[in-house]
Amino acid sequence: MKSYALLPLVPLAPLAAVVMVATAHAQAVQPADLRASPERLVQAAVEGVIGTIQSNPDTRAGDLGKITAVVQKQFLPYADFRRTTRLAVGSAWRSATPEQQKQLYEQFETLLVRSYAVSLAQLREQSVRFRYQPVKAGSGATDVVVQTRVINNADEMQIDYRLQRTAAGWRIYDINMMGAWLIEVYRKQFADIVARSGVDGLVNYLTTHNARQNAAS
Contact 202, 102 (CB under 8 A): no
Percentage with pLDDT > 70 across the chain: 81
- Domain architecture of the chain: domains with CATH: 15-194 (3.10.450.710)
pTM value is: 0.81
Banded model confidence at residue 1, pLDDT cuts 50, 70, 90 = very low
**CA 201, 202, 206, 207 torsion-angle sign:** negative
What single string gives the DSSP state of each residue in 76-104?
A: GGGB-HHHHHHHHHTTHHHHS-HHHHHHH
193-214 residue pLDDT tens: 999 999 999 999 999 999 998 8
154-187 residue pLDDT tens: 778 788 999 999 998 999 999 887 788 999 999 9
Per-residue pLDDT, 148:
86
Distance CA 192, CA 154 (A): 39
